[in-house]
Chains A and B, each alone.
Chain A
């Protein structure tokens, strides 16, 4: 399609500045000495006031990490990472566990305001009862979301703690959970993603600083959406958070994470680990809106997002559902997986991965069918534009004893422009005859007819593209919690700006 003038203008305008979360907040912070050593690990552990077993756990991970090598199999290219040239711990100074939002550095609050995070729950934190807003139900506003906000290495605020406590739900930074509920953390930490699972997970185990911990007791349906916002602020800082969510028998929880980072020339490393555990009849819904800084128009800077996410359907008839919208990061390397261990358990993976500019995405999922009559469903939509490379990589396997395992996979890719690449690498391994696996994948471009139809009706090329793409990803968007679906939709049009022509 020949580039029309308006497209050229549009591209020029949004070229570099389209990442609207690229601001930096100036607050003084305390950092661990640069570089990685046993001392760094000890420093972090001491800062967090951790029990001795935790320090041992970390040191063990660090020693194993020294013997490991970075994985090379993904279809991503990047220069060598100097693990000694980064800070592994950064905390806003004078940081004490906040009693109320007043204790929090106003600069940080401003940051979250800019991000549009629903921190109006700060009032709730302060014990102010809000007047019911018009159109909202007075007693229990439906769109309440409890937020845990993580700034660099430290969780700065967790809202709605009291109300959650009444329901019996534990939702707190993992560093706090280590002090208050060590028995729970110790019982489950590292049981889904073992310490030496992979290079980045091991690194995370050694130096993770904070993250969220959720425990939903038996039979409890968590009364609100739980959410964590991650923000890398400091220069040269890696962010390593660890999230652990446990849904006990018959419990239900929906959890959402969002991520942003300032615009920087150098690459920042983000290596998180997320572990989900669903016991009998429990259900966990985990949604991600990942919008780390993707780098500038020439592919300079951006976050390396090397994440290990895994859910364990440990109990019978449990369910874990992953929904992700990936629009940010220079490089994404993540495969949220489900281990379907319990009989009759269910795994789901809904993903939209959008890459533009020089982004590289290598993402997908693993569905490991171990129990009887387990089912899984994978819907993946990849959209590649600009000079980006977008790969779906997934594994579906059934164990000998996984009678009646069932999987349906659909991964579609859309290419916009002729300098990008879209790839599909599924592994389908069936080890018993009662398994039924189906897999289908397509790759195509946006139909000229559809674009023409929209443009005839007065939409610009970009608007038309966004409309078609939104239709393309609708299956997945529908899986996002209401509160975030709208935001996600906007994010898609922002990510694709400048990709037409």
Chain B
């Protein structure tokens, strides 16, 4: 029987046209870009028959592809102001990436710190070979969103932390959409943390409400042996924006790797995490909290690849779903042959505040080694009546009681953030969200 012929939809045709128009002008990495675009051209946009995208049917959710954003001019850069991603007065070193381009005026490159160098992605590409850029996990290499980012990436930064350096001040990678009309942005950044070094990285994404811009971002983290990396991603895109992000992390032996994703903004959000533990004895905490309302759709898709023995990973994901929102969690733990003594536990919990909300959970285990302890738990349900009753019996009004319980529910995931200031800021963000809910 003949293979199904894919009808190219409008978005696919527009992407192909964009590619033809832009490919000569896109800076650097031409062969990689061409190969990545080829991957997309063969498969088309992922749809519900593509297992990894089962619940986020891009063909349906992305009716058209917006034109590629142009580099903001000096005037646009000047209007950026202080972007804080709702993180208050957090003391961090800020790097602003506007519309997929590094905004030098707002970026603190601070060349005096010997432990760290920050270079614009395309400047770095010029001198270095492409192996880092191309060094991505297999699951990500097949992914269409990652391929599109590789094909169209316009800029970002490369952060290099020297061996054994301890970077005390967090680095804040602030992504902003500054356009007045809808456009597509493709930022890409690379973070290399050499053995024994320590880094705290905050990544934020925001933009204006009412513009249906499309962000496809990618971040690669290489954590060397014994490195300690904390990563926090805050997604507060505009209410009609489409946001797809891919985190690809390659973690060495005896490292510590923590990541936390906080999502409240964006019309359609897809957070992809591809994590690979290539060395023994790594400890990883992977957490996330998603709060959705209206008709928001947020999907967290996680692949944790235990490629070496004796690693420990903990995954905790919480989602709070109000109105007609839809929260999706797909988490896969892979234990490769020989990765004995793996200890992996995954939990995903959805709290449904409305009858129109939908929670889809797919926690997967794929295990090829026998001496392991792996488990996952998943729940979906609404607020516990008994708990509500308990609080109300003590004179707490029901709205407040609900808010307290929701905060406690999300709090479990936020607690994992090691940086106290950031943790406070995140809890405040949750409270603000609850307040807006009324």
The reply to whether the CB of A443 lies closer than 8 angstroms to some CB of chain B is: yes
Contact B362 A444 (CB under 8 A): no
Q: Given the known inter-chain contacts A443-B374, A443-B375, please indicate yes or no for A436 contacting B364, CB distance below 8 A.
A: no
Of the candidates A73, A434, A443, which one forms a contact with B372 in the assembled complex, judged by CB atoms under 8 Å apart?
Answer: A443
Of the candidates A400, A425, A433, which one forms a contact with B382 in the assembled complex, judged by CB atoms under 8 Å apart?
Answer: A433
Q: How far is the CA of A415 from the CA of B378 in the complex (A)?
A: 22
Of the candidates B360, B361, B372, which one forms a contact with A439 in the assembled complex, judged by CB atoms under 8 Å apart?
Answer: B361
- On chain B, the residues within 8 Å of A436 by CB distance are 379-382
Q: CB-CB contacts of A126-165 with B at 8 A, as 1s and 0s? A: 0000000000000000000000000000000000000000
**Interface set, chain A 420-439, CB cutoff 8 A to B:** 420-439
Chain B binding site: helix, strand, loop or mixed by DSSP?
strand
- On chain A, the residues within 8 Å of B357 by CB distance are 432-433
Q: How far is the CA of A439 from the CA of B380 in the complex (A)?
A: 9
Of the candidates A69, A415, A419, A430, which one forms a contact with B352 in the assembled complex, judged by CB atoms under 8 Å apart?
Answer: A430
Q: CB-CB contacts of B341-361 with A at 8 A, as 1s and 0s? A: 000000000101111111111
Chain A interface residue bracket vs B: 35 or more
- On chain A, the residues within 8 Å of B51 by CB distance are 73
Q: Given the known inter-chain contacts A421-B366, A439-B361, please indicate yes or no for A433 contacting B355, CB distance below 8 A.
A: yes
Contact B362 A443 (CB under 8 A): no
B375's closest neighbor in chain A, by CB?
A: A442
Contact A437 B379 (CB under 8 A): yes
The reply to whether the CB of B81 lies closer than 8 angstroms to some CB of chain A is: no
Q: Given the known inter-chain contacts A432-B355, A433-B353, please indicate yes or no for A418 contacting B361, CB distance below 8 A.
A: no
Q: Given the known inter-chain contacts A432-B352, A437-B378, please indicate yes or no for A422 contacting B359, CB distance below 8 A.
A: no
Q: How far is the CA of A423 from the CA of B335 in the complex (A)?
A: 10
- On chain B, the residues within 8 Å of A432 by CB distance are 352, 355-357
The reply to whether the CB of A120 lies closer than 8 angstroms to some CB of chain B is: no
Of the candidates A418, A422, A437, which one forms a contact with B371 in the assembled complex, judged by CB atoms under 8 Å apart?
Answer: A418
- On chain B, the residues within 8 Å of A420 by CB distance are 368, 370
Contact B382 A426 (CB under 8 A): no
Chain B interface residue bracket vs A: 35 or more
Kindly provide the distance from the CB of B75 to the nearest chain A CB, expressed in whole angstroms.
48
The reply to whether the CB of B115 lies closer than 8 angstroms to some CB of chain A is: no
Q: How far is the CA of A114 from the CA of B380 in the complex (A)?
A: 50
- On chain B, the residues within 8 Å of A417 by CB distance are 370
The reply to whether the CB of A445 lies closer than 8 angstroms to some CB of chain B is: yes
- On chain B, the residues within 8 Å of A438 by CB distance are 377-379
The 10 closest A-B pairs by CB, nearest first: A415-B370, A433-B352, A430-B380, A428-B361, A436-B381, A442-B375, A424-B365, A433-B382, A439-B378, A443-B374
Listed by A's residue number, 27 A-B pairs whose Cβ atoms lie within 8 Å are A415-B367, A417-B370, A418-B338, A418-B371, A420-B368, A424-B363, A424-B365, A425-B362, A426-B362, A428-B360, A429-B360, A430-B361, A431-B358, A432-B352, A432-B355, A432-B356, A433-B354, A434-B355, A435-B380, A436-B380, A437-B361, A437-B378, A438-B379, A440-B376, A440-B378, A441-B377, A444-B374
